[in-house]
A and B are shown apart, each in its own frame.
Chain A
Amino acid sequence: MSHVMGSPDTGGHFGDFGGRYVPEALMPACLEVEAVFREAWSDPEFVTEFRETLRLFGGRPTPVTPLERLSEHLGLRVFAKREDLAHTGSHKINNVVGQALLTRRMGKRRVIAETGAGQHGVATATAAARLGLDCTVFMGELDTQRQALNVFRMELLGARVVPVTSGSRTLKDAVNEAMREWVTCVDDTHYCLGSVMGPHPFPWMVREFQSIIGAEAAEQLRALGVDEPDLVVACVGGGSNAAGIFAGFADSRADLVGVEAAGGSAVGSGVPGVLHGMRSMILQDDHGQVEEAESISAGLDYPGIGPEHAYLASIGRARYTRAADDEVLDALRLLSRLEGIIPALETAHAIAWLVREAASIPRGSTVLLNLSGRGDKDVAQVRTLLEERA
């Protein structure tokens, strides 16, 4: 049986997207990561350790919660996959546990990572602490100011946070800086990339680590009497939570919907380009310079999208749409009040789309929402935004 979200070709391509566009200095490291991941992922011992670490340390499986009051409000049957309940408050833990175990398997002693809002940085620092690895996190200087508490969290966990002052001083520059650092230390350091992006094998490997979300959810929905949801919806920045949940349903009849930030809509407003080691849809100006994404949610503040998403869009298997800042704030409030769950601003994009489109979805449809993260990190910002709006 062939799978819609199967393995990329040997060069890491999903259709016309993906590949490996990195300086020669990093090619051997990428090839090594690929070889070690291939071997580990078919080694039952590694897979067991991955799953057990997520169970005993990461808080998995996360439940699927029927959102009864939201369902009534929207005239749909909405279920949430509760990644907000995973350790560190989002799905990010799945990927970092996988990559930290891989780092140890490669005999390396240190990880570096980029982070935007800080979620991936905190998750990486957490996994590094658990496995006794040194950890350095690159974070745009602007983001270190906007997310000062997450900087402190990473430091509490023993990581070093390096503010990135180049370019736009946000996530995309943090990726550039992490790549530059990796060139100097590939011998003993693994670059723990935070999403389904970057050069092969990262988009594929991160999706594989995140696919535990979709696999669990499919089984949990069946236990709740839902053979197959009609719709699966997730927010998309780089797209790791969406890839993880889509992977469980790509071969089903479910519609797959990814919701980007209106100011960071790589599929909606971008054109094919090459950035951060991959060919994908990228926001660019009229001269091929990469544009900065703008969103209230730092986690979606990325001008590209994972190449497999670009591929799923190109073949029409998933569709990508967007939510604007205002409706996102409304959605965050709605879910908080109706369900007692404060979602992350990123996650609220998926909810906002669902609220906006509910009327055009057949009544009673079954919807699986990936509740990718909790909103604790955003509460102060949301308060300011709501006060400004009032």
Chain B
Amino acid sequence: MTRLDRELRDLRDRRRALVPYFMAGLTPNWTQYLDAAVQGGADVLEVGVPFSDPMMDGPVIQAAGVRALERGVTLEGVLDELARTDLGVPVVVMTYFNVMHYRGLERAAGLLASAGVAGVILPDLSLEESAPWRRAAGARDLATILMVAPSTPPDRVARIVATSQGFVYAAARMAVTGRASGDGEAARVVAGIREHGDVPVYVGIGISDPDQARHATRDADGVIVGSALVQRVLDGESPAELETLISRFRRTIDEGAPEA
């Protein structure tokens, strides 16, 4: 069990998790958005590291990735800044497998762990191809978070639940990020995951407003909110404005939560 597993199991006893996503390096002051998110009530931060070919991302995160790459953002630069920022909540890095593969798995896992990163989401790293990475990451107490999709059949759900660390990422719909809104098939996906283990389950892909987040967390242990936030950063909203929005997510989720 990794540090992230323990922290998120503790968290589950207290409240539903709110996980905002931000694209690293999108603006010069991008880490201020992370601070603001924590102030607004985030429990975990998902930090996107841009990749040239983001197969699982829709137009908003693609645009953010392009802009970040144009600013010269690199994994090493992002990790330097994260290492210097004391956020007080676990940070999970989301990027594509080639970013790790290019550096060598051992080295990449070492860089992430040294910067204090708690886990990674690599959407194009399939369960079948994940063993070498999980070995490298596991040796550094770095959690590898896997995704279950609405299309995943039960036998695969079982294997993914047994393998995923930290939480299981439940994709609410058959779509890439930021293309549709609402929690879609989340209830069915979450129920399918619950049959195979007592792991924290967070819903993402399509959660774009506080009511949807509240709806999704009736079943799930947490929600991931990405494109809806990144769009606002792209539109020039300030960290303070994002903090206000995230605190609304926080309040709405907490109001809607069943008694613990």
Contact = CB atoms under 8 A, between A and B. Distances in A.
Contacts of A176: 53-55
B56 interface: yes
Interface in B123-137: 123-129
A265 interface: no
A185 B99 CA distance: 28
B30 interface: no
Contacts of A173: 53
B101 A23 contact: no
A21 B129 contact: yes
A48 interface: no
Q: For B125, B153, B174, which residue has the most chain A Cβ atoms within 10 angstroms?
A: B174
Interface residues of A, number: 37
Interface stretch (A83-91, A267-275, A373-381): A267-275
Contacts of B126: 20-22, 24, 27
A389 interface: no
Interface string B13-40: 0000000000000000000000000000
A24 B174 contact: no
B160 A24 contact: yes
A158 B148 CA distance: 36
Contacts of A183: 56, 174-176
A20 B128 contact: yes
Given A274-B98, A274-B124, A28 B52 contact: no
Given A11-B128, A180-B58, A273-B98, A27 B156 contact: yes
Given A19-B129, A272-B101, A287-B75, A28 B147 contact: no
A249 to B, nearest CB: 31
Interface string A13-33: 000000111111111110000
A24 B153 contact: no
Given A176-B53, A180-B176, A22 B102 contact: no
Nearest to A30: B126
A25 B124 contact: no
Nearest to B153: A28
A23 B98 contact: no
A20 B174 contact: no
Nearest to A282: B98
Contact of A167 (B53, B127, B171, B174): B53
A167 B98 CA distance: 17
A24 B152 contact: yes
A287 B127 contact: no
B62 interface: yes
Q: For B53, B125, B160, B171, which residue has the most chain A Cβ atoms within 10 angstroms?
A: B53
A42 interface: no
B101 A274 contact: yes
A250 to B, nearest CB: 26
Contacts of A272: 101
Contacts of B175: 183-184
Contacts of A132: none
A288 B98 contact: yes
B9 to A, nearest CB: 23
Q: For B51, B54, B56, B123, which residue has the most chain A Cβ atoms within 10 angstroms?
A: B56
B152 A289 contact: no
Q: What is the predominant secondary structure among interface residues of chain A facing chain B?
A: mixed
Contacts of B97: 21, 274
A186 interface: yes
Given A180-B176, A290-B52, A28 B59 contact: no
Contacts of A19: 128-129
B187 interface: no
A284 B97 CA distance: 14
B74 interface: yes
A286 to B, nearest CB: 9
B149 interface: yes
A289 B160 CA distance: 28
A167 B65 CA distance: 10
Given A167-B52, A176-B55, A276-B55, A23 B124 contact: yes
A36 B99 CA distance: 33
A24 B147 contact: yes
B174 A186 contact: yes
A120 interface: no
A230 B123 CA distance: 45
Nearest to A29: B151
A26 B129 CA distance: 14
A15 B59 CA distance: 36
A288 B125 contact: no
A288 B53 contact: no
Contacts of B98: 273-275, 282, 284, 288, 290
B129 A24 contact: no
A166 interface: yes
B109 to A, nearest CB: 15
B174 A276 contact: no
Contacts of A22: 55, 124, 126
The 6 closest A-B pairs by CB, nearest first: A288-B102, A25-B149, A289-B52, A290-B52, A274-B98, A24-B147
Given A184-B179, A289-B51, 4 more contacts: A11-B128, A19-B128, A19-B129, A180-B56
25 contacts: A11-B129, A21-B125, A21-B126, A22-B126, A23-B55, A23-B56, A24-B127, A24-B160, A27-B126, A27-B127, A28-B153, A29-B151, A166-B62, A167-B66, A176-B53, A180-B58, A184-B174, A184-B175, A184-B179, A186-B174, A273-B98, A276-B53, A279-B101, A287-B102, A288-B98
